[in-house]
Structure 1
Amino acid sequence: MTRSLLGARLVDVDEGGLAHLTGVDAGGEVAPRSVGLSASALDSIWGGVEAMYRTGAYPAITFCLRRRGEIVLNRSIGYARGGGPGEQPGVYARLAEPDTPICLFSASKAITSVLVHKLAEEGGIDLDAPVSRYVPEFTGGGKSRTTIAQVLSHRGGFPMFNVDASEQGAETLMDWDRCIELICAAPAEKAGKRLSYHAITGGFILAEVIRRVTGEAFTHYLDSRLRQPLGMRYFTFGLDGRSRGRVARNYTAGQPVRFPLSVIARNALSAGFEEVVDVSNRDFFMDAVVPAGNLYATAEELSRFYQMLLDGGLWNDRRVMERETVARAVRPAVRLRYDHTLKIPMRYSEGMMLGVNPFGLYGPMTGQAFGHLGFMNILGWADPAREITAGLLVTGKAILGGHLLALGQLLSSISWQCRNS
């Protein structure tokens, strides 16, 4: 089911209604008035999600919104498989559900960064110490003084892999040891001073620090410090075989990615745009651990993670992290500055993308919000001013198109409808 708009790859949305494509976790949603929202406010927000789907750029969307710690929306819309651009839903098509796992891509970075802060809380590392104290090989190209805090805030000086043509491509990212070797040897790019988003590289070296210090697999540390304490079903880097039958498929959508965006995307992702989408659906990608790019979760699990942070490290009256640890993880580390990778102004903490006033990543007047963006238009965030946490997961990978306007309108609706009077 595809409709074309100036060459765009879009899902042909049934204008007769979306009820048959919508999944609702009705038993998990509380009455909006119990958390200070009106029914019309909730209708407005969910209407914004439906408007995103109607753009045709997203074969599947799952969305979870908590307010004051309670779930007010936990819903899905569209097809997890078999309903993307160029596909006619048939006998093998499967609708998305609220608990469908989806790859977070770069939104995974927030989880990796929080684990680094947790290790510092436990006394394993000093965030202001050089990475080379824990990974002695990390000295190439003038990086010997680069600190963990600088890597967390995208000032590490190694935003991209320095590889020749033979190693360009997503498959290089599946070789952990080779990635660490390349990162350690990479020349520094004004380390500590130049803001440049580390799309893939930062996650690998941060996870390597955890592995070296703890002596255990990075995934084991995630499991014991976050996944089990928060009671997650998924929330893993990579995905085991029994879960792959439920995972949502990713699709290239929207307008074709052309120069100069194609170059920016390749530099940031270390592979071509369509190659990244294709690889993300393959078993070897789900077998791998990519600390900056392949954590799988549901929208509710992502919201749950941010709720723990919003509550100062507590979940179900259990302390997962110390309040001071969370405070440092979300505290601004970089003022609004031009990001030389993303080519836009950005504001970071040591691990999070921060909101901006008057309008930022999470909508209007969200200067207190913190979270992370994932490829493309995946979002997880918390906004203390509105007492909300949210997970917005999508399977359509589109850069340009009308979907961006719909996304902006949804974020605006959430911001205005959830503002505290």
Structure 2
Amino acid sequence: MSRPAVGGLAEDGWGVVVDAFRATVPDVHQSGAALSVWSDGREVVDIRLGTADARSGRLWREDTPAVVFSVSKGLAALVVGVLVEDGLVALDQPVAELWPDFAAHGKDAVTVGDALAHRAGVSAPRDDVDRRTLLDLTEWARRIAAQEPLWSPGEAHAYHTLSMGPIVDAIVRRASGRSFAQVFAERVAAPLAADVTFVPDARLLDEVAHITTSDAWDRTASGREEDPWITRAATLGGIMPRALVAGETGFNDPDILAVGLPSAGGIGTASGLARIWSSVIAPTRGVRLFDPVTTAQLVRPRSEGPFAFSAEPPYPRWGAGVNLVSDSFPGLSPASFGHGGAGGQMTLADPDTGIAYVYIRNRMDPAPPADVIVPALRRVTGSHEECR
């Protein structure tokens, strides 16, 4: 049986990465994916395979955008990094200095870095979120600010699956006078001509890859036994499906995508995303997003180990909004950082090797493609040591 043809370009010496990528799309008629790799600020792999929308048979093209789920949190961290560089925000600054209402119920000492590292104590809502609030970041942020924390803020951590979005938007608005989506567009995406956005128009919503879920993903989502607060962090009390997508609901709903949720609602191409992460570690298309001193602040370890609530390992490690190397985030070296996304999305930058890579796909599955892609990248770069 012939192997499915991978579209796009890869420079000589990167064939092992192309082969690894091909293995992550087992059924090209039901799903698709894209991979971009940049080396020292230059794109060396830009490939795609499969179907962007199984309903119509539309193929995955060079410019096909995808919903990137929690990869968005990494982009949110980069926006905050830009504001740190501008002197408008400090990571050790209390959120309440920018947003006084956030101080309610003892949250006054929560710093911006705490919030980005999932230590703010408001990972899930005490009261169910209705659809009107879900679609209004300002109202959602107001409710989060008024909420009593679920644990003593700063003393533990738990993943702020969706609530991170309104929190970051509120911080950025108060520090800069502009929305998160505006700052991202003007300061991050535009200088790099990156096809990534948090304000999708009607055309983009028509072109975004349609998300499906594997049987294994659905079984994992429905059969998972976990603390109720962890479930509420993702479902907001039931307004969102536990699997994040169910048919045309969740992140297949254009109204939800139009919100531009900084915690999960980014939409972009693999190449657009990868050039952003490349610009954090190397001049890329003439752009260096910010100084290495700022990067060092973002990657300082802030949260690791068990959550405030019962959760199964492996546990992630976080800096200020970025994943650090762990059992759940394999790297090319111990210095690797970035952010993963639900169902298999991955962004990574590695200053030691000069490599930035992004993998996106539209079929959610619990088997992590990074476990296939990263070993191939290690072979090419000579980074053979297991980095977890």
TM normalised by structure 1 equals: 0.81
1:173-224: CA deviations, max 9, x gaps? 2221331122112222121120211111123112111112322232221122
Q: Which amino acid aligns with 1:183?
A: I
Aligned counterparts of 1:397 and 1:80: Cα–Cα separation in 2: 13
Aligned counterparts of 2:32 and 2:232: Cα–Cα separation in 1: 27
Aligned counterparts of 1:177 and 1:49: Cα–Cα separation in 2: 40
Aligned counterpart, 1:362: 330
Aligned counterparts of 2:136 and 2:100: Cα–Cα separation in 1: 20
Counterpart pick for 1:54 among 11, 19, 26 = 26
Counterpart pick for 1:281 among 240, 252, 257 = 252
1:54-98: CA deviations, max 9, x gaps? 27897111111122322221111110012xxxx5xxxx3210023
SS, match of residue 102 in structure 2: coil
Q: RMSD of the alignment, in Å? A: 2.5
Aligned counterpart, 1:266: 231
SS, match of residue 113 in structure 1: helix
Counterpart pick for 2:371 among 408, 412, 417 = 408
Between Structure 1 and Structure 2, how many residues are aligned? 371
Contact 1:58 1:395 in 2 (8 A): no
How is 1:22-421 mapped onto 2 (pairs within 5 angstroms)?
A: 22-24=6-8, 26=9, 29=10, 31-32=11-12, 39=13, 42-54=14-26, 59-82=31-54, 92-164=56-128, 167=129, 172-188=133-149, 189-232=151-194, 234-255=195-216, 256=219, 257-261=221-225, 266-270=231-235, 271-274=240-243, 276-277=245-246, 278-311=249-282, 314-334=283-303, 336-340=304-308, 343-344=312-313, 345-356=315-326, 360-363=328-331, 366-399=333-366, 403-404=367-368, 407-419=370-382
* Shift in CA distance, 337/56, structure 1 to aligned 2, threshold 3 Å: farther
SS, match of residue 382 in structure 2: coil
Contact 2:325 2:335 in 1 (8 A): yes
Deviation at 1:150, TM superposition (A): 0.6
Contact 1:61 1:393 in 2 (8 A): yes
Aligned counterparts of 2:41 and 2:292: Cα–Cα separation in 1: 17
* Shift in CA distance, 151/303, structure 1 to aligned 2, threshold 3 Å: same
Q: Which amino acid aligns with 1:116?
A: V
1:286-337: CA deviations, max 9, x gaps? 32121111111111111101111112xx433344323321221223333x42
Gap runs ≥5 in structure 1: 1-14, 33-38
TM normalised by structure 2 equals: 0.87
Aligned counterparts of 1:103 and 1:275: Cα–Cα separation in 2: 11
Gap runs ≥5 in structure 2: none
1:330-354: CA deviations, max 9, x gaps? 23333x4223466332211111001
SS, match of residue 373 in structure 1: strand
Contact 1:197 1:340 in 2 (8 A): no
Aligned counterparts of 2:100 and 2:133: Cα–Cα separation in 1: 23
* Shift in CA distance, 81/178, structure 1 to aligned 2, threshold 3 Å: same
Contact 1:385 1:419 in 2 (8 A): no
Aligned counterpart, 1:8: none
Q: Rg: which structure is higher?
A: 1
Aligned counterparts of 1:76 and 1:226: Cα–Cα separation in 2: 24
Report sequence identity in percent: 23
